[in-house]
Structure 1
Amino acid sequence: MFAIRIILDSEPDPAKEKQECWQVYSIVTDMYQPNPKRLRDWLSIPKSNGYESLHITVMGPEGKWVEVQIRTRRMDEIAERGLAAHWRYKGIKGETGLDEWLTSVREALENADNDSLKVMDQFKMDLYEDEVFVFTPKGDLFKLAKGATVLDFAFHIHSKLGCKCIGAKVNGKNVQLKQKLNSGDQVEIMTSNTQTPKQGWLTIVTTSKARTKIRQALKEMVARQHAFAKETLERKFKNRKMEYDEATMMRLIKRLGFKNVTDFYQQIADETLDINEILDKYIEQQKRDNDTHDDIVYRSAEGYNLQTAQEETTSKEDVLVIDQNLKGLEFKLAKCCNPIYGDDVFGFVTVSGGIKIHRSDCPNATQMRERFGYRIVKARWAGKSVGTQYPITLRVVGHDDIGIVTNITSIISKENGISLRSIGIDSNDGLFSGNLTVMVSDTGRLETLIKKLRTVKGVKQVSRN
């Protein structure tokens, strides 16, 4: 590296000094190609030790990089003689204590009986009561508030360095994170890739900058942990072939006593909650929800009674026969799948002793068979569906054409034995989707209705919920 220093005889006026330094910069860069990555502007923001200068690196005539330092006479004196030269230019008089401080230092150094280093240690902080100056191993100087710790210094340099900090070497000696720094200390930060920010760090640091960075790092770390915990939970659901329902999970989290979702996922991340237990409780929550919904008994189903298991002539196994004319245990149709006459069904003995009738393709059927196979009872419909209607919800999706809702309701009204109970349609960006609840007697009439709805112009999909 070859360097050239240009010193200007400028008047000690900050604005004029900057202007003339940048004029020199313009002349140099007009003649030689500069490296913009190597520009160091300590004119606009001087270093903490008062150093002011403008450094640029240009390509020399022989193809070698040359550093050019541009400064004024005043700046050069500060660089060579230190901050005392800066105060002399500022015109500071004895009333600030500077003259007395310099005189006492001179006298102490002239006295051969005194230990010069101890004297300097005694005096060096007199003018810097509110801040300390520390060095990196490379000699870079940093200014920190008085009382700053090793951890403050690490975060002052960079957030990533602070987050990985495990301690430091101060003047060659290993110290802890909470070690307070003194002016003149040379600090080498030690890191570990396994280190992560801790909540307790907030009590160690003294600077607001470090506290802000620690809080931000903790927040980001918690967010990552929660995202990983949720992903792990959903993966477990997938492995068990269970459907993950956000609303059901929220009710479960509330029932478990958690005030917010954050605490729930934090315990999963900390492994204080067993995911398998959560899955079991989730299934229980689903059952609770189904039991709650099944308390609503439709008039058309009030007459239904369930006969105890009877022997069928065509089978050696006991099968529950569902018939409105039979007397016995009362049963309810499960709301999770809404079975109707003609569906393949099975019975499930609930904890309370009642029986719920589910469709064979119910979303919860697999889990029930795997976990509670001993409570499954075969069942079939008996008799005919004449005079009996069941509520069925259809999901309809399509283009938002004019009159499409009228066409849909018109088809339903024309069907014998089918009545529209409720309709909810949402339209967005030319598309519509919604749920239709109809009263229907059996699967045959339902399939006929679905086929007719699919023929309506604009309807793209009709499915049973």
Structure 2
Amino acid sequence: MLRQYELVERVKEYDPEADEALLNRAYVYTVQKHGTQKRASGDPYFSHPVEVAGLMTDLKLDQETIATALLHDTVEDTLTTIEDIERNFGPDVARLVDGVTKLSKIEQMPENERAAENLRKFLLAMSEDIRVLLVKLGDRLHNMRTLNFIKNPEKRQRIARETMEIYAPLAERVGMYEYMREMQLLAFEQLEPDGYQTITQRLEQIRRQDKGQVDAIALDIKHVLAQAGVRVEVTGREKHPYSIWRKMAERHVTFEQITDIMAFRVICEDELDCYRALGVLHTTWQFLPGRFKDYISTPKSNGYRSLHTALLYENSMRVEVQIRTREMHRLNEFGLAAHWAYKQGARPDGQVGWLRDLIEIVDASNDPEELLEHTRMAIYQDRIFAFTPKGALFQLPRGATPVDFAFAVHTNLGLQTVGAKINGRHVPLRSQLANGDVVEIIKNPEAEPQLSWLGFVVTGKARAAIRRAVRARERAEVAALGQKLFDEIASRVPARIGKKATRAAVARLGMEEEEELMYAIGAAKLSDKEVMEALVPGCTAELGPEEDWKQKGAISIRGLSPGAGFQLAECCHPVPGDRIVGLRRPDQPVEVHNIDCLAVAKALDADWRDLSWGPRSQGAVGRMRVTLYDRPGTLAEAAGIIARNLANVRGLHQTHRDPPFTTYEVDVEVQDAKHLHRILSALRASDAISGAERV
């Protein structure tokens, strides 16, 4: 563990103007607050924040970040508050500590919610200050280094899986490849112990048997380049064990079938030498087609720059070679942290431009699972490069389509997309883009995104925007239905309903605006009685007999024992007038089914009861399947027909959308089977409706 003076000296080496008093106070504070707390390893707890601070000094980060690393667990694990941190260390450090603390607290939540909420907090915290992420990545890396001290194997697996799925990809996304590789290796050891053991043993065996082959190849490469007048440094190594494991899984091959286990790095003086070195290597040894990538002229979205190639060395041995300058190497290994250290707060747009898309995804995602899906799509996939007709470059996941491209350019362009050209040719919107394609988007301001696009888009941004637009469209349709039902309900109250009464009703129901009320009515979240009471308080006490069945109904069943409970089956929705049968199981109310219900034939574990409707039974819920033409106003037309036939909608669910048709299941409260069939006949007679049937 770093001692206090050692930590301060490290910071002063690269930042002579650093506030030594601030760093000393933060060090002493974390030691005092964590006191006698112990880690799973038995070490004093404060050794962890001190080591995280040491990692931050390796990245040459500013004094506020070092102080944050020292203090990042005090609010979570001691009685310290954010107010205490601000009082002692200032608002900047307090804000950073608060950001890291919010991320850490989430780890007690259920796994899916925790992972989603972690991502949400990450994105929002990074949008305010990227240093929050840098400290959190250092925190996670040190926790992974000491993971083997945790005795509970399930907890180790959970932490390793979270690291592999969230933290390592985020480290890669900001270009911190050293952190990414070590996190992946440590997580791999926990998640696939047999695979880890096998690969590391094989690599060790190769190391013992190759008799310095890696060094010999590196020396050969350096000699060839020196003869051509290119001064370089060359290092070689076996590939990362997790990288080999992933390659084995992707190619469905054994370790012995992996031929490119060795990788070499060539460090040049300048950018021109990189291309000269590439030319020399390609003329000395055969290069493998399809394996050359130029990330110098077109960097990765995280700022990574390098030339990648693969060569066929002697004895048909495949070796991978990366060629870069010393400055590129420094930035490549530590990414955004290196930029931050040397620009003190400047945020290179190419490095974090993808954050804007992720923040948009946070706003558009409807639930934790959706957020996880969209965000993982945004940060995990391999990239391709495509261009607008004017030459603007966009990076997209492999398998992206013109729709993904349109949303990458601008969300509004994606929403208005109606067609596309790739390299001047009209293509279907589901066509996959290739590296270097020029994509022209054809738009129409009146267009709307189609639900079917979700079947082929691959970017999280596109999926989130499409789902948000579809939900908004469906909400508008349900609100239109609610408006029709509202007009019918308003006609039954003993007063003339105008804007003033409607606004008062919205306020009484605790809503913000009229559209919210119409949506609640259309979605069957409010009963007729609740709406009428909100419009004219006390009016439902004077309802006439015609309205009475609409509010409460009166159902009795013949054939049951006195006092026996019953429930109308949800699978067939029997209504008065249907032939019915009862299914009786021990300690359960009798289920009342339509006699034609398939559930009756399958109910071998229940006793049958012959039942019939009691006198004056009326007011049950029937279910209809209604297929509408997919154009504006058709749902409102269906709602008007139901309302004119004095039926009350109790539920509405879209089951299919297959342009030009949309199918809904509609639950309606009716008097009896005749009433339900009358509604179905009226629906079928409408030009807006393709078909209607009872479910």
Is TM more than 0.5 here?
A: no
> TM-score, normalising length from structure 1?
0.31
Structure (1 or 2) with the greater helix fraction? 2
> TM-score, normalising length from structure 2?
0.21
